[in-house]
């Protein structure tokens, strides 16, 4: 199945549009169905060593983190005791209540509004983990090459979980209306699968094979996982 990247409706809606609000709720529900918390929890545990005895907090960046709901669910798994996290999104919608929930878990979270690529270019690096969820399927391969070149220069570990591009996932994407997803989500689910990944497509785009441990595989029934860890 050829990869096709098309604009998704949600990306162009005002964050306060009722359809956008409902679609974000749909996505939280779909994340649960796809098992992304469990997938990412296992990937993080394998990629990032325990730093409970370190003299500084773990530095984590989530790109396209939106409302911070997935990152909070990961934080509640008790992966790390001290974390400085930055959530970068064009329109972050994280609430004060959610920020307090992070604080109660020992996580300091800063929501940054802006284009993720520009922010990454300007960042000083020294990042322990860059994490993305349903983010990189929005980009063409030539853009992904630029992203990966930048990420490899900024972080020690990189984890991306995106839609799996295959016929089974495509069929399932046409059925999300059966669980109550709205018109925006029904449209975007199909486009997401068509823009998803399969095989070792992301591995081929990673710029520095030497000095990195790379893993790419099917994850769960509908998802695709890519992990790069500096050796």
Render each residue's pLDDT in the chain as its tens digit; 231 residues: 999 999 999 999 998 999 999 999 999 999 999 999 999 999 999 999 876 556 789 999 999 988 899 999 999 988 887 899 999 998 888 999 999 999 999 899 999 999 999 999 999 889 999 999 999 999 999 999 999 999 999 999 999 999 999 999 999 999 999 999 999 999 999 999 999 999 999 999 999 778 999 999 999 999 999 999 999
Where would I find the beta strands (DSSP E) of the chain?
A: 58-63, 83-89, 107-113, 129-133, 157-163, 212-219, 223-230
pLDDT of residue 54: 67
pTM to 2 decimals? 0.93
pLDDT of residue 48: 92
pLDDT of residue 93: 86
User: What homologous superfamily is domain 12-230 in, according to CATH?
Assistant: Vaccinia Virus protein VP39 (3.40.50.150)
164 backbone φψ class: left, alpha, beta (φ>0; ψ -120 to 50): beta
What gap in Å lies between CA 99 and CA 113, rounded to an integer?
15
């Amino acid at each position: 199945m050829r990869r096709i990247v098309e604009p998704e409706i949600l990306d162009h809606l005002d964050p306060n549009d009722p359809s956008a609000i409902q679609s974000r709720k749909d996505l939280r529900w779909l994340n649960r169905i796809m098992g992304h918390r469990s997938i990412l929890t296992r990937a993080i545990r394998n990629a990032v060593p325990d730093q409970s005895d370190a003299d500084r907090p773990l530095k984590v960046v989530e790109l396209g983190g939106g409302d911070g709901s997935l990152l909070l669910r990961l934080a509640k798994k008790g992966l790390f005791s001290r974390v400085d996290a930055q959530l970068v999104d064009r329109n972050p919608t994280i609430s004060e209540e959610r920020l307090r929930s992070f604080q109660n878990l020992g996580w300091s979270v800063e929501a940054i509004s802006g284009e993720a690529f520009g922010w990454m270019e300007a960042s000083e690096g020294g990042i322990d983990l860059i994490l993305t969820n349903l983010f990189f399927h929005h980009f063409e391969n030539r853009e992904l090459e630029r992203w990966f070149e930048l990420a490899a220069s900024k972080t020690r570990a990189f984890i991306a979980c995106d839609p799996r591009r295959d016929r089974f996932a495509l069929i399932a994407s046409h059925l999300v209306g059966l669980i109550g997803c709205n018109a925006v989500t029904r449209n975007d689910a199909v486009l997401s699968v068509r823009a998803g990944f399969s095989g070792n497509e992301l591995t081929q785009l990673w710029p520095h094979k030497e000095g990195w441990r790379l893993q790419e595989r099917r994850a769960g029934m509908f998802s695709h996982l890519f992990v790069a860890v500096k050796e």
